[in-house]
Chains A and B, each alone.
Chain A
């Protein structure tokens, strides 16, 4: 019987002005705006990708988490079949409110295409795919709270059916300066077994 166990290979949490990678705090600031926090993190990690500054807050949050987890993963000489399975509670609401503001005043009516494009939560997956050239399975879901049962089952199905070699799972919640990102990479090898309870425990740390 083939061992079709799956494992969490690495994980990252971004909240409260701090970034924690595999359990260790690697970046922390005194309380500040997300705009400031994300810019300083971008500079600190020497990311060098000017499109970052066009992104909305949700995409910046997802992008930063993915950047740190995939940095040592991506093999530039071959295709990387890493699926992206992300979810959150507020969808793109933070940007939706901004866009609504740009159309609410009949006297000052200038809908912005650059804002409108980010009024869909899956755009952050597009940004990550473009950055890392991941031509892979992508899907974005909405739940009231992090749903470890769903994420675990769905990631396993993608791996078991060979639709992906690895799965980057992510909870990326952003609304009005309140944010939490919890991303983790699932694959066929590793030490931490990929189970519903394990995932939830790491999320809650």
Chain B
């Protein structure tokens, strides 16, 4: 799962245009939204697209995103469990 977490950190920086953030600065358990990385509602929607596009996971209820995207750790765990790609 380490490789997946690393991959997710790279993807997030790229997809969400986090130009100022370095890979090393993102900790596995840091909150992604709110105070942590400061992602917003549009970022959450983009992550939902990423789940589908890169991992073949279609979120039935977008509200699930809140728990899935809490941190890199929770994202990686969810993807490992549900990926079809």
Contacts and interface: CB of A to CB of B under 8 A. Distances in A.
A117 B45 CA distance: 11
Contacts of A110: 49, 52-53
Contacts of A112: 46, 49
B18 to A, nearest CB: 7
A135 interface: no
A113 B49 contact: yes
Nearest to B19: A53
A53 B13 CA distance: 11
A104 to B, nearest CB: 15
B60 interface: no
Nearest to A111: B49
Contacts of A111: 49
A117 B16 CA distance: 14
A90 to B, nearest CB: 22
A117 B44 CA distance: 14
Interface residues of A, number: 11
B45 to A, nearest CB: 4
Contacts of B18: 50, 53
Contacts of A54: 16-17, 42
B20 interface: yes
Contact of A113 (B20, B42, B52): B42
A50 B18 CA distance: 7
A40 to B, nearest CB: 13
A111 B46 CA distance: 9
A117 B49 contact: no
B42 A114 contact: yes
Contacts of B21: 50
A39 to B, nearest CB: 8
Given A110-B49, A110-B53, A112-B49, A53 B17 contact: yes
Given A53-B20, A54-B16, A54-B42, 8 more contacts: A54-B17, A111-B49, A113-B46, A114-B17, A114-B42, A114-B43, A114-B45, A117-B42
21 contacts: A39-B19, A50-B20, A53-B17, A53-B18, A53-B19, A53-B20, A54-B16, A54-B17, A54-B42, A110-B49, A110-B53, A112-B49, A113-B42, A113-B45, A113-B46, A113-B49, A114-B16, A114-B43, A114-B45, A114-B46, A117-B42
Interface of A: 39, 50, 52-54, 110-114, 117
7 interchain residue pairs of minimum CB distance: A53-B19, A113-B45, A53-B17, A50-B20, A54-B17, A110-B53, A114-B46
